[in-house]
Amino acid sequence: MIVLRRKAIMKRNNTNCVFLFLLTVLMTQLMQLASGQDGEETVLVANFVNGNDAVFDSRVYLFNSSQSAGEVTVRAFTLPLIGDTAQELTATPLSLGTLESKSALNIEVAEDILVLLGIPTPYTGDGGNLTLEFTVGAANVRGAAQVFSSGIAFGTYPLQEIPSASSSSPTVLVANFMNGNDAAFNSRVYLFNPSQSAGEVKVRVFTVPLIGDMPQELTGTPMNLGTLGARSALNIKLAEDILDPLGITTPYTDDGGNLALEFTIEAANVRGAAQVFSSGIAFGTYPLQETVVTESSAGPGPSVVTVEGRQLIVRKRNPDGTLGAISSYIIRGVLWSPSGRDTDTGPEDPNNPNVRRSEFGKWYQTDIPLMVGMNVNTVRLVIDPGTNSALGPLGRTILDEFYGNGIMVIMTVDDGVNDMNRVRSAVNFYKDHPAILMWMVGSEWNINRYFGVASSIEDAVRRTEQAAALIKQLDTNHPVATSYGEIDIHADGLRLNDTESYVNSLAPSVDVWGLNIFRDKTFGTLFDQWESITTKPMFLGEFGTDAFRSRPPLVPCPQGAVDEAMQADWDLSLWNELLRNLSASDPSKVAFGGTVLEWNDEWWKIPPAGTQETCGFVPSGHPDGVSNEEFLGIVDIDRHPREVYNALRTGFDPAYQPPL
């Protein structure tokens, strides 16, 4: 029987035209705060506020989650059209008083800022548009801007944080949706450059087709929009500044008038917002999303990995840039999802992946030497380590450490929820790193349908193919894998013949299938079943058991005790069976190897976070009939190896031969 295990869920909030609902959603998001230390300062930008006809109705809301109060100061900048230069309206930062600890603040743009600066209201310069930069002497402050004039709302959107650490890299920002239909000149993008260096601005324009059609780039080469000055802002009109110079007819009506824009600014930490309104009706104001593009000159270059028949063929990149010898690869791996006692999230937390992303940097220096000692050669990541200016460089450092220790990486690039923006940024950021073995999408999507993102199993298959096809466009040096649950479930869309259709016909861009199998102390007929339905290869994406022996009655949160010998015996038995089905040893066999579930215990899976619970799933293909979710680690939460560590260290030794 198949057991559904809890995974992180990224909830999607659909756009709602009801203003108060949107405000509620955004204010809720303000409470989901990144980790940090009190005593730091937060710098937030409102890329667009309106000071025209009813400036008193433009507001900024701040929330301080820290234990320390902090002074709030603001700087105001004009927001000129292309061709003009932005001016700072504050000779020195204006103090707005103190934001208390665990407290919020409601700031009226006119009464609390413009009037105190002696700026006449209503403010009509540059169409009444302004940019505000808030500095708060406390960590982890979050905020939102609300703009409405004459009773018409232009939207509510979160303020964007300016990182405290600068970078020499350019900023790449994406407006995922712009509307160029009936009144394209009213669609705008606002940019703010907090750095001390000016930067050239270029834009690429893409169509946003419906599913089934292919997107097209409308810019043959990136279009130059001029220079964004240091400590300056810019107001860009979609029609006049971009579409008209490109010779694109306006109003633009293809694909419902929808476009995507990618801005590259040669300055660090630029932030931006998009505003879409047509015929006087606002579709909203939202922050641009930052992505990071890997510089081709970084590192020695990618290893080259291909699939030949049912074998995984690897040519590792040497430090001097040359390629090593061709070899058939065996995955002797673990699933690595690092966390500690203080990992503060849960399965229902919309910010779960971002909380967990920060754990990679906390644990890699501890975990990698232990993995080396266990003869691990591969890790599977269920989320990428990060691509933005804060986490991306550390992510590459972590991969450098894996590479230097002979460990390759299977990286999930869609957060398991078919996030196509994440796919693009993660693949582009990491594709040239020599530690990458292959990409992965999904997390048992046949069972959870991308955690509700897909409307049906058929939709989940289509989404899988779409993501795999995109990855192949972005990178030709690595295969694409997908995470798939049990291959033969007695339910519509989940039977063996359904799996056969998905593998061979409906998701042809997937090269390798990673199977999460929990049948018992044996895989049973799995390898024969796979051979009977396809010539494509597979590996075990998840297998093994936990270290907690539950006592009857087998309830979801049973009594019991840790039994390390039980876990060690079970996992090694499954590994021995897997070794007898390796394609590297016999090309007629179907498997590359596998990644054991999992490297370390994770105490966030069962609420409350920070305590180890015995809860799990009943019944299950485990020795005691229960999958105890927070005891699955080869090492415990404090990185003390369990008996299974030594058992698999022997089994993962390349010279090891399984018993007959």
Task: Give the pLDDT confidence of 25-83 residue by residue, as tens digits.
Answer: 333 333 333 333 344 788 888 887 776 554 447 888 888 888 888 899 999 998 888 87
Task: Give the pLDDT confidence of 436-449 residue by residue, as tens digits.
Answer: 999 999 999 999 99
Across residues 640-660, what is the average pLDDT?
A: 97
DSSP-derived 3-state class of residue 368: helix
Pairing, β 42-50 against β 160-161: antiparallel
pLDDT at 15 over 60: no
Task: Give the pLDDT confidence of 206-219 residue by residue, as tens digits.
Answer: 888 777 666 677 87
Q: Which two tokens stand for residue 436?
A: 């990458």
Long-range contacts of 574-581 (CB under 8 A, 24+ apart): 574/521, 574/522, 574/523, 574/543, 574/544, 575/648, 575/651, 575/652, 575/658, 576/651, 576/658, 576/659, 577/522, 577/523, 577/658, 578/523, 578/540, 578/543, 579/651, 579/656, 579/658, 580/658, 581/527
Q: Which two tokens stand for residue 25?
A: 């959603």
Which residue has tokens 């966030």? Answer: 604
Supply the pLDDT for residue 38. Answer: 41
Q: CA quadruple 623, 626, 627, 628: dihedral positive or negative?
A: negative
**What DSSP string runs through 602-650?**
-TTSSSSTTS----EESS-SSTTS-EEGGG--SB-TT--B-HHHHHHHH
For the chain, the average pLDDT equals: 86
* 13-17, 241-245, 379-383, 500-504: least confident range: 13-17
* pLDDT tier for residue 292 given thresholds of 50, 70 and 90: low
* pLDDT tier for residue 375 given thresholds of 50, 70 and 90: very high
Beta strands per DSSP E along 129-270: 129-136, 141-149, 152-158, 160-161, 171-179, 187-193, 199-207, 223-228, 232-237, 258-265
Which residue has tokens 């597979």? Answer: 538
**Cross-strand partners of 550:** 560
Q: Are 65 and 29 in contact (CB under 8 A)?
A: no
d(CA 385, CA 383): 7
Q: Which two tokens stand for residue 214?
A: 């292919």
639: which residues sit within 8 A by CB, 6+ positions away? 366, 367, 370, 600
pLDDT at 249 over 90: no
Supply the pLDDT for residue 175. Answer: 83
d(CA 389, CA 319): 25
Closest by CA position to 194, among listed 223, 230, 169, 221: 230
Closest by CA position to 467, among listed 255, 174, 211: 211
Number of other residues whose CB lies within 10 A of the CB of residue 98: 16
Supply the pLDDT for residue 165. Answer: 56
Task: Give the pLDDT confidence of 79-104 residue by residue, as tens digits.
Answer: 888 878 888 888 899 999 999 988 88
H, E, C per residue of 295-329: CCCCCCCCCEEEEECCEEEEEEECCCCCEEEEEEC
Task: Give the pLDDT confidence of 625-637 residue by residue, as tens digits.
Answer: 999 999 999 999 9
* pLDDT tier for residue 205 given thresholds of 50, 70 and 90: confident
Distances (CA, A) of 267 to 45, 170, 191, 429: 16, 5, 11, 18
d(CA 342, CA 603): 9
pLDDT at 13 over 50: no
d(CA 299, CA 402): 14
Q: Are 119 and 83 in contact (CB under 8 A)?
A: no
Task: Give the pLDDT confidence of 482-499 residue by residue, as tens digits.
Answer: 999 999 999 999 999 999
Across residues 218-228, what is the average pLDDT?
A: 83
Higher pLDDT, 96 or 295: 96
Q: Are 284 and 276 in contact (CB under 8 A)?
A: yes
Q: Which two tokens stand for residue 64?
A: 């301080």
**Cross-strand partners of 378:** 333, 408
pLDDT at 534 over 90: yes
Q: CA quadruple 653, 654, 655, 660: dihedral positive or negative?
A: positive
Closest by CA position to 350, among listed 2, 6, 13: 13
Supply the pLDDT for residue 181. Answer: 53
d(CA 94, CA 533): 69
* pLDDT tier for residue 18 given thresholds of 50, 70 and 90: very low
Which residue has tokens 């920002």? Answer: 173
φ and ψ at residue 232, rounded to 5 degrees: -145, 165
Supply the pLDDT for residue 45. Answer: 87
Burial of 122 (0-12, 13-18, 19+ CB in 10 A): middle
Supply the pLDDT for residue 180. Answer: 65
Across residues 519-532, what is the average pLDDT?
A: 97
φ and ψ at residue 330, rounded to 5 degrees: -110, 125
Supply the pLDDT for residue 409. Answer: 98
Across 3-17, 142-156, 626-640, the highest mean pLDDT is recorded for: 626-640
pLDDT at 19 over 90: no
Supply the pLDDT for residue 254. Answer: 81
* pLDDT tier for residue 283 given thresholds of 50, 70 and 90: low
